[in-house]
Amino acid sequence: MKRIALFLAPVVLALLAEAAFSAEVKTLEIGAQAPDFDLPGTDGKTHSLATYKDAKLLGILFICNHCPSAQGAESRIKSIVKDYGDKGFQLVAVSPNDPESVRLNELGYSVYGDSLEDMKRHAEDNDFQFPYLYDGETQAMSRAYGVRATPHFYLFDETRKLRYVGRIDDSKFGDPATIQTHDARNAIEALLAGKEVPVATTRAHGCSTKWAEKRDLVTKYNEEFLSRPVTLETIDTAGVEQLRKNATDKLRLVNLWATWCGPCLGEMPALVEIGRQFETRGFDMITISTDAKSAKEGATKLLGRFHAAMPKLTEASVKEEGRNTNNYLFLGSTDELAEALDPEWQGTLPHTVLIDPGGKIIHRVSGEIDPTELRRVIVKHLGRWYSPK
């Protein structure tokens, strides 16, 4: 119990500190005037309240790239813009997050992080037909509005008084069929009809705002990972066959590399990041060195320089399988390795495969990976939002 308490103490203190700071952020009350802002958008322009002076209704929606709740709501957001955009309603999306306060394993549902450059890529990939602004540098607008979560929706009338604040709807999932109450739509329709909003305030649900004050939590997270050991074990044909069978519920990435292979070393940092990014999603990143057995020490040193350690959650699932590491050196020939792992592999390095539970290879790359494209494939397979199933 004492060991558990010592482990939990820093976590509890961090949560208490976060809760205390969140309590200081006061959400705008109904009837409040919209605070002004001066923010860059993904369109390369600067935006303010005056930019939207002609809109009859102004919706300010705080979202971000990485949050599964925000991503799950994107289809509903697009639908609202389509249905009310020609009736005087203007939607402006804003990312409130400090990118440096987001841990790598919080990006498990997203291809991108929360920087402005990543927002541009996210908006393009997902065909945003509305402004998407970045408040991550100062977070001044987000503090003024009192953003609690992403998504968090604020609806202002023609005089820019707040008439509705809270959730978009009552669903936590990406499937519109799970919606019971269309809160934002109800508010928009009421104001367009000259009526009072039926329910003016609701609780926003989603990922908490990543304030700059949380950067120390990211530092601690990274320090903890860097303290984890990097190990390398030998593996034979039978062992590789077991990895290929993937008798787990995890999506498994296997990367073949060698110490003498320049592209292998070039892509290794990205692979280590990908392993960390998706540790919360049931994901397993495995490296297999094709070096001679005599090169084991050198391979271990290189893996150490890249810090190819197992993230904490990955380590737990690996131990459940009866394994001790995710880094291996293969004892056998190229042909034996190909037959055991991927018969389509022609022997070129690096070579990377994604293996579904049950052993089906769903993606392969012969040559150096494109990290963004590989993330797209992983996210597409794992999903961008929570599922009720």
**Could you tell me which CATH class the domain 229-381 is placed in?**
alpha beta
- pLDDT number for residue 389: 64
The string of pLDDT tens digits covering residues 84-107 is 999 999 999 999 999 999 999 999
The C-alpha atoms of residue 134 and residue 132 are separated, in whole angstroms, by 7
The C-alpha atoms of residue 258 and residue 290 are separated, in whole angstroms, by 5
Per-residue tokens: 353: 């495969």
172: left (phi over 0), alpha (psi -120 to 50) or beta: alpha
The C-alpha atoms of residue 67 and residue 119 are separated, in whole angstroms, by 13
Q: Are strands 361-366 and 251-257 parallel, antiparallel or unpaired?
A: unpaired
- pLDDT number for residue 19: 47
**Could you tell me which CATH class the domain 2-217 is placed in?**
alpha beta
Q: What is the distance of C-alpha 317 from the center of its chain?
A: 21
The string of pLDDT tens digits covering residues 140-166 is 999 999 999 999 999 999 999 999 999
Q: Strands of 251-257's sheet, edge to edge?
A: 233-235, 327-330, 283-289, 251-257, 351-355, 361-366
The string of pLDDT tens digits covering residues 244-292 is 999 999 999 999 999 999 999 999 999 999 999 999 999 999 999 999 9
26 three-state secondary structure: coil
The string of pLDDT tens digits covering residues 204-226 is 999 999 999 999 999 999 999 99
pTM above 0.85, yes or no: yes
Longest dimension (CA), the chain: 79
Residues of the chain with CATH 3.40.30.10: 2-217, 229-381
The C-alpha atoms of residue 233 and residue 324 are separated, in whole angstroms, by 8
Question: If pLDDT is split at 50, 70 and 90, which confidence band does 109 have?
Answer: very high
- pLDDT number for residue 386: 82
The C-alpha atoms of residue 135 and residue 310 are separated, in whole angstroms, by 34
The answer on pLDDT for 11 being more than 50 is no
The C-alpha atoms of residue 271 and residue 262 are separated, in whole angstroms, by 15
> For the chain, what is the mean pLDDT?
94
In 3D, which of 91, 95, 85 has the Cα closest to residue 135? 95
Cβ-based neighbour number of residue 24 at 10 Å: 10
- pLDDT number for residue 6: 37
Cβ-based neighbour number of residue 45 at 10 Å: 11
The answer on pLDDT for 337 being more than 80 is yes
More confident position, 312 or 11: 312
- pLDDT number for residue 188: 98
The string of pLDDT tens digits covering residues 230-246 is 999 999 999 999 999 99
